[in-house]
Structure 1
Amino acid sequence: MSITTFIISAIIALVIGIVADKISPISMPGGWAGAMVAGFIGTWVGQVLFGTWGPIVANYSLIPALIGAVLVVIIVGVVAKLFN
């Protein structure tokens, strides 16, 4: 993977994570870094659970990635609230 591909992937994961954080009922801890992690993990979870469909940008299937990121944000948010 080239550095350019990684940077583009990181930006897309950040956007997906921020959007997921905004639409989920529980917020993601960790600010922009937490949102980026939620975007990366959510993309993987979304594609495993829901497949690859909808618009695809830079190998990210956006709708399953967003759904997966929302699930990750909710789960991490609930776990973070349990330990605070």
Structure 2
Amino acid sequence: MLSSIIAGAIIGLIAGAITSSDDRRGCIGNVILGLAGSWIGQFLFGSWGPQLAGMAVVPSILGAILLVALFNSRR
């Protein structure tokens, strides 16, 4: 459980850095973004590539980037 939270935070942080969004989500926001992005990314793109705490890293980051883009477009 703790490893999933840490992996979610890392995935959310990477997605925020790639999109260079200025949102101040904080640690909890990054965890939520990473976990939701992981779920969406693996649902849409499958579970290929390296794994981190049971999450496929590349599809998870892609899913988190989609979430950041979706929330930034709503502003």
Tell me, yes or no, whether TM beats 0.5.
yes
Q: Which amino acid aligns with 2:59?
A: P
Matched residues, number? 75
Structure with larger Rg: 1
Identity %: 33
Deviation at 1:31, TM superposition (A): 2.0
Gaps of 5+ in 1: 1-5
CA 28–50 in structure 1, closer or farther in 2 if over 3 Å, else same: farther
Question: Once structures 1 and 2 are overlaid, which stretch shifts more, 31-40 or 47-56?
Answer: 31-40
- TM-score, length of structure 1 as denominator length: 0.80
| Deviations 1:15-45, CA, capped at 9 Å, x for gaps | 0000100101434452222211110100000
Q: Distance in 1 between matches of 2:30 and 2:72?
A: 11
Q: Which amino acid aligns with 1:40?
A: L
Deviation at 1:77, TM superposition (A): 2.3
| Deviations 1:39-63, CA, capped at 9 Å, x for gaps | 0100000001000100012211000
- TM-score, length of structure 2 as denominator length: 0.88
Please list every run of at least 4 consecutive aligned residues from structure 1 whose deviation after the TM superposition is greater than 6 angstroms. none
Cα RMSD after superposing both structures: 1.4
